[in-house]
Amino acid sequence: MIKIDYKGFIEKYFTITTITGEIVPMKLNNIQEYYYNVLREDYGANYTPIRENILKSRRFGFSSLIDAMFCVDFILGEVGLASLANSSVYSFRQKDTEELFKRVNQFIDSYLLATIGKNYCNPADREMIPKLRASFLKKDVGGTIIEGKNGSVYDCLTAGAKVAGRGGTRQNIHWSEVAFYNNTETLNARELVAGAEEQVSSGIGKIFRETTGNVADNFFAEEYQAGKDGVSQFKSRFLPWYLFDSYKATPPKDWKMPEYYSQVPKITREQAYWHFTKTNGLKDKLKMREYPTTDTEAFLLGGDPYFNNEALLRYSASIKKPIKEVEYATAL
């Protein structure tokens, strides 16, 4: 099995558009690189089979990293350096789906231009893209699907019962913001995800369930806990806001760090102040959920519990598993 240097390929060939609209070469930020190294450590240099429940803070760029890795699989399959790869990316809303697919197309266009010595950052070079895509792709449906000449497929879809595949095969699936998928009579998140994931055979490929937190009693919360308890094939990971180097701000000299931040090892005043102001002095429940310090916080603050949130967090953090568990059976 080929060992793929995803990071090297991404940083050599792909560009990305920043939140300010600037087109730049894609370089992994510190939290993306941290997670990429975790994957290598746990799954080896082949990066397969990956099964991940990712609970994270906002704006880490994980969707970009995951979809870029899928795009590397697509390209290498098309040029004959790896097995063909069929990948599906599911998003929470149609608008987000369109943005994800736009980014995937930019990855491919950047690569195609780079192979002929051109640069996607140059508007004049981008005029060559239609001709290059026509020679590389068999099917090119805007906003939906791309299919390579040799048979690799990459599609971006909005999560819904009518679009989730149940037949055929896939090697890669990415569920973006899966904790927010609807759970109604017409769309059940568990059935949607479990059904589509059957397309990826055991022992191969990559499945990422990646999201910020939501309520404590939905599909993802249950799956995250199962992975955390080691009773699932998925590994559950929590990546809090303070792991991201960009999340820091200079505090006033007289600002006193709240006791809340004592639970974070080696936190700096700059990090704490950024989070303090971002969450409106630790009072904005929605922001606390989006930038959680603990995984318990991410889920508990998503709903509207009867008991006080802070008390629930404190008692939940103090709960320890029993040293020994036993089962008793009686006969009548």
Q: What pLDDT, on the 0 to 100 scale, is given for residue 26?
A: 98
Distance CA 208, CA 308 (A): 33
Mean pLDDT of the chain: 89
Residue 199 carries which DSSP code? T
- Number of residues that make up the chain: 332
Q: What pLDDT, on the 0 to 100 scale, is given for residue 329?
A: 54
Question: Between these two residues, 132 and 305, which has the higher pLDDT value?
Answer: 132
Contact, 199 vs 173, CB < 8 A?
Answer: yes
Distance CA 54, CA 68 (A): 17
Where residue 162 falls among pLDDT bands split at 50, 70, 90? low
Distance CA 174, CA 156 (A): 9
What sign does the dihedral 104-107-110-116 (CA atoms) show?
negative
What sign does the dihedral 193-195-201-202 (CA atoms) show?
positive
Contact, 16 vs 24, CB < 8 A?
Answer: yes
Q: What pLDDT, on the 0 to 100 scale, is given for residue 294?
A: 95
Distance CA 271, CA 261 (A): 10
Of the candidates 290, 314, 315, the one whose C-alpha atom is nearest the C-alpha of residue 240 is 290
Q: What pLDDT, on the 0 to 100 scale, is given for residue 331?
A: 54
Does residue 9 register a pLDDT over 90?
Answer: yes
**Helix or strand run (H / E) with residue 32:** helix 30-43
Distance CA 296, CA 309 (A): 11
Please write the tens of the pLDDT for every residue from 202-221.
999 999 999 999 988 889 99
Please write the tens of the pLDDT for every residue from 34-80.
999 999 999 999 999 999 999 999 999 999 999 999 999 999 999 99
Q: What pLDDT, on the 0 to 100 scale, is given for residue 74?
A: 98
Contact, 19 vs 35, CB < 8 A?
Answer: no
Mean pLDDT of 211-240: 95
Which domains are seen in the chain, by residue range?
6-239 (3.40.50.300), 244-318 (no CATH)
Where residue 185 falls among pLDDT bands split at 50, 70, 90? low
- Tell me the C-alpha to C-alpha distance, in Å, between residue 158 and each of 65, 66, 280, 301, 305: 19, 17, 33, 26, 30
